[in-house]
Structure 1
Amino acid sequence: MQPSGPPSAPPTLASTLGRAPTRAFPVKTRKLQLSRGADRPLPTTVWYPAAGDGPFPVIVFSHGLTARPADYASILSRWAGAGFVVAAPAFPHTSGGVADFDVVDLLNQPADASYVLTRVLALDGKAGDPLRGRLDRVHVAAAGHSGGGITTLGMLTGARDERLTAAVVLAGRQALPGTFSGPEIPVLFVHGKQDLTVRYIEGLAAFRAVPWPKGMLTLPNAGHVVTGGADFDIVAGATTDFWRWSLYGDAGAGRRLDRRDNLDSDF
């Protein structure tokens, strides 16, 4: 791969800088009690830089089946500390502890994630909000793990959210109806070869189906969940560099991606 630059978009302070923040920010969290209708509560945890004016790109993150946003705190806080605002909803029928679990409700989750993105971006103009004037409303992205990866791919296909300018799919596959459509954006896939829940071949098929610039980071010894150790460091480092390149236009991050082992891409 030879990273050049992400797809062009209307300029903002973040995009015209051509590089991501060089400092690591302290991170704060907050809870938003969102709901897309009376029967679709979407309590959302937001990780965001506690300092700095921004504007910071925004990422909506979708959890896996029976998981919760807090289960991903290690990597989401890493992204936030690098200069991103990350919003992670708990979905009403697939998150951990729900009484009426229903895997079919994955069909509704791309619209849920888009709704959460809309509500979070609106905070940029809300008087008195800690995020007022600190959000980059042009450079926004989606990411998800497992069932959340399915949700993220749904936001690129049948429930296309054309605001998205990049996406990351962790241990996901294409399971929702629709084909890839809308503006071209870069997509990074991450998958363990020893995954017994979503097989590597399924993730590879989704990767191959994407008609846009794309990358597949293969973890030879990893399973479905990576929570620590060397594999976690690889995932956290690669995804953060991907965000820095795709959302800030940081060429240095692109070069680091280019040097990564086990990354097959045409970025």
Structure 2
Amino acid sequence: MRGQRLVAALMTALLAGCGPAVATSDPVPAGVGPAPERSYAVGMRQFTLDPDGRRQLPVTVWYPATPSSPGPPTSASATASGSPRAVPASPGPARGPRVRPGAPFAAGRFPVVLYSHGLRSLPALHAALTSRWAAAGFVVVAPTYPRTNQRARAFTREDVRNQPADAWRLIRHLVRLGARPGDPLGAHLAVDRFAAAGHSAGGHTTLGMFASGQSSPLRAGIVIAGGRMVAGPSRPLAPMLFVHGSADRIVPESIGRAAYARCLGPAAFLSLTGQGHGEYLTPGRPGFPQVLDTTTDFLRWTLYADRAALHRLPTDATAPATTTFTTRALPT
């Protein structure tokens, strides 16, 4: 009954659109189980939202899965020096998890991260990051936006302004699935714990989901190489993490910094020294271990109330001559 009441309350908030989101020092509800201490195997599924509608939305889902065979737990994420982390978060930076299409879900419900791709991109091109988040205990849902993806027949960058609404349509669908007893996907979604993330135009989309004056079940946001306002003024109250290359010529770092300055709640900014629009998202490239560890621990803090992960953020993000890290109003 408690779960049904929670889903009903979330649906009311999503459909009514009244009242701003409220940020807290621990942005998850009481009673949430501890963050995973070991990595999961990773499964992948796909479905299409509104297949007969005007804006069909193919969706790729990466999720914690049962292991393919018995064996010891997979190792934790490693630091840049290769030393194991005290609390496992995700597979090592260079070698990601093996993704098994259709693999059975791991037992339990997991927080949900909605990931938005950039212009002329696809969810699959971001699997290096999204699959590692799934291994760390998150369900990652990634829509393919109809007019900006790599295969769009009528590509137009102006359609980015419509993408926050697409993303909300997907969230409403997931909340409904969470209310269906025994639904193969919804049964594993913690629909009280959503975050949004995205790269480039997907970062703009993410920020647009926090448009001022709208109610929001989103507990956190990660904006990678983005920051333009596409759906009205955005002054997020929820915790926000910005990731940006200092030499980005496509979306200058100043745009991300301006969005960071507008945040009304806790915020952090990870800058990749001398890097451009996203090479730091590639395993083996400078900065990838810092991006992986910082984003994973940010999600562990905001979606699992893992205070140890919060305290690790400065260490996660620090690599001499590779990164700089600044914060505003993060709890201690």
Would you call these one fold, judging by a TM-score over 0.5?
Answer: yes
| TM-score after normalising by structure 1 | 0.90
Given the alignment, which residue of 24, 30, 42 partners 1:11?
A: 30
In structure 2, distance between residues paired with 1:178 and 1:164: 17
* Residue aligning to 1:43: 58
* Residue aligning to 1:148: 202
Given the alignment, which residue of 135, 140, 153 partners 2:189?
A: 135
In structure 2, distance between residues paired with 1:160 and 1:185: 12
| TM-score after normalising by structure 2 | 0.73
In structure 1, distance between residues paired with 2:195 and 2:116: 11
Superposed displacement of residue 137, structure 1: 1.2
SS of residue matched to 1:123? helix
* Residue aligning to 1:94: 148
* Residue aligning to 2:123: 69
* Residue aligning to 2:305: 249
Gaps of 5+ in 1: none
Superposed displacement of residue 165, structure 1: 0.6
* Residue aligning to 1:235: 291
Code of the aligned partner of 1:220: T
Which region of structure 1 is more displaced relative to structure 2, 172-181 or 72-81?
Answer: 172-181
Code of the aligned partner of 1:211: L
* Residue aligning to 1:263: 325
SS of residue matched to 2:286? helix
Larger Rg, first or second structure (1 or 2)? 2
In structure 1, distance between residues paired with 2:212 and 2:120: 24
Code of the aligned partner of 2:30: P
* Residue aligning to 1:164: 218
Contact 2:227 2:256 in 1 (8 A): yes
Given the alignment, which residue of 263, 267, 288 partners 1:210?
A: 263
Aligned Cα root-mean-square deviation (Å): 2.0
Gaps of 5+ in 2: 1-23, 67-105, 319-323
Code of the aligned partner of 1:93: R
In structure 2, distance between residues paired with 1:230 and 1:20: 28
Contact 2:181 2:187 in 1 (8 A): no
CA 1:124/1:82 → structure 2, altered by over 3 Å: closer, same or farther? Answer: same
Q: Does 1:21 align with 2:40?
A: no
Given the alignment, which residue of 263, 267, 272 partners 1:219?
A: 272
In structure 1, distance between residues paired with 2:215 and 2:261: 21
Superposed displacement of residue 252, structure 1: 1.2
Q: Does 1:104 align with 2:124?
A: no
Contact 2:235 2:263 in 1 (8 A): no
In structure 1, distance between residues paired with 2:164 and 2:215: 9
CA 1:216/1:20 → structure 2, altered by over 3 Å: closer, same or farther? Answer: same
In structure 2, distance between residues paired with 1:55 and 1:177: 31
* Residue aligning to 1:186: 239
SS of residue matched to 1:133? helix
Higher relative CO (CA 8 A, sep ≥ 6), structure 1 or 2? 1
Q: CA offsets, 1:98-120, max 9 Å, x none? A: 11011111111001011112222
Code of the aligned partner of 1:237: D
CA 1:181/1:222 → structure 2, altered by over 3 Å: closer, same or farther? Answer: closer
In structure 1, distance between residues paired with 2:206 and 2:242: 11
